[in-house]
Amino acid sequence: MILRVTRREALTLAGGAVASLLGARSVGGAAGPRRRPVPRRAPNIVMFLTDDQAQLAMSAYGHPFLKTPQMDRIAAEGVRFTEAFVTNSLCAPSRATILTGLYAHTHGVLTNGGGPAVRNQPGLKDDHVTFVQLLHQVGYHTALVGKWHLPSWPAGFDEWIILPGQGVYQDPEMIAQGMRLQLRGHVDDVVGDQALTVLRHRPADRPFCLLVQFKAPHRGWVPAPRFAQAFESVEIPVPRMFEDPLDGRSEAVRQTQMALADMPDFREQGVPAMLPPEERARRNLQHMVRNYCRVLLGVDENVGRVLAFLDTHGLTENTLVLFTSDNGFFLGEHGLYDKRLMYEPSIRVPMLLRFPARLAAGRVDTTHLVLNLDIAPTLLEAAGVPAPPGMHGRSWLPLLEGQESPWREAFLYQYYEYPAWHCVRKHQGVRTRDWKLIHFWEQPEEWELYELTADPDERNNLTGRPAYADRLTQLRAQLAALRREVGDVDPPGPRPTAAPCTSDIGSGRDPAGGTPP
């Protein structure tokens, strides 16, 4: 049964009635008994998470026309990382990594479960604890609102209200502690409402950890009515490498089905299939980027509502605020859309951290390679809670507070969802400050090598050039060492052959209807 309610009624339910109706149960379980009291002066934590937000899709990172003053405020009053990346550019694996501080091969969420080859994606393994569970165990009041997008129920939260699966942009159905509700309004306004309700009704004697997880700017891009005409007169600038013919790249990349010219979303808005591919790509770019930016305006407003609440109630100083996205997104670079590939637009994400009680404002970190792996240990250290020894990530607080310690010079990338939406073959790779090596490891094996300092747009695949043979050997050894370090080993026997990926899988539309993850 679905309970249909207005936004106002939903706020009342979220404020306590749902928990009472359900006997305060938490589907998926709490995190067990508290092991120790909450540390003295433990900070509150608010984490904002968007879906598919490219790093440049924020005015703090230099977007040419999108203005995001509330996101920018977090950057101006804290730290903005420019070298911030995900270790798997796909929603569910990245979200599981954020929660656990682990690479996907360890936490077990390898794919979104999209496509017939990867149905029935398992949830987080029971033996992998999340930072939320650890905070709950020491007395934090923990809450989750918005897009969850993991196949297992939320665990370790005192209260949660989530979108089922991808959710929808308008009048979303949500699940509150197991009860289905039909809400009215734009999805990210609803998420903002729920976040404020959690804050108003939180226990006054406990620190809180609140995860605010927006749907935007995921594909579908339906803006709130107040933003429906924003940027209408803006001519979207064509990105560098927009007309990339993909020459010199692996066959695996050339066979992906992510060409912006073929995206079907706007065929009823002036981009008919009979147009030449070059014209389709240019028209799709205009529609996609305008709507992508429109939905982010709603996110920015709702981020501002939460920040204003913290200000009004004297919570700003001792609240750590983190803003990031689960992965980046191609906005026409290389003539592509979506994410998945280990190219820069796909793996770079915004990463902002504000913590007035410990960190000075206005810092831009252009030096350190920081990862979604690092979020869990950073939040735990801020709360005074030891991170489990098996976490792959590292806390940023020592380096931001000037403590001298070695930092990573490279990181490992993994992608597993194939054959499935967009036909992106499984691959892994290593990225250093200056170099990137990509390995499509199923047969036929293929490699791509880029010198990022001289070639930041990844124009020239240097694999096969004799002058770079030693560099290729070095990076292959570094990739193998990184994999060994985190326990990512090949199964015995020869490498498998890549299965065929048909056009109905890779087209970007679910044959059963709707948009894939």
Contacts of 9 (CB under 8 A, 6+ apart): none
**Which pLDDT does position 151 carry in this prediction?**
87
Contacts of 51 (CB under 8 A, 6+ apart): 91, 147, 149, 213, 214, 215, 216, 217, 218, 325, 326
Sorted by where each starts, the structural domains of the chain and their CATH numbers stand as 2-222+266-397 (3.40.720.10)
């490279």: which residue's tokens?
410
Of the candidates 357, 389, 391, 360, the one whose C-alpha atom is nearest the C-alpha of residue 375 is: 391
Backbone dihedral angles phi then psi of residue 346, each to the nearest 5 degrees: -80, -35
Render 170-182 in DSSP notation, one character per residue: BS-EEEETTEEEE
Report how far apart, in Å, the C-alpha atoms of 436 and of each of 2, 154, 336, 348 are: 49, 35, 20, 13
User: How many whole angstroms separate alpha carbon 324 and alpha carbon 366?
Assistant: 16
Contacts of 363 (CB under 8 A, 6+ apart): 78, 79, 80, 400
pLDDT digit of tens for each residue in the chain (517 aa)? 566 666 556 555 544 434 433 333 333 344 444 455 666 689 999 999 999 999 999 999 999 999 999 999 999 999 999 999 999 999 999 999 999 999 999 999 999 985 554 555 666 766 679 999 999 999 999 999 999 999 889 999 999 999 999 999 999 999 999 999 999 999 999 999 999 999 999 999 999 999 999 999 999 999 999 999 999 999 999 999 999 999 999 999 999 999 999 999 999 999 999 999 999 999 999 999 999 999 999 999 999 999 999 999 999 999 999 999 999 999 999 999 999 999 999 999 999 999 999 999 999 999 999 999 999 999 999 999 999 999 999 999 999 999 988 999 999 999 999 999 999 999 999 999 999 999 999 999 999 999 999 999 999 999 999 999 999 999 999 999 999 999 999 988 899 999 999 755 545 443 333 344 4
Backbone dihedral angles phi then psi of residue 454, each to the nearest 5 degrees: -85, -20
- Which pair of structure tokens corresponds to residue 43? 């900070």
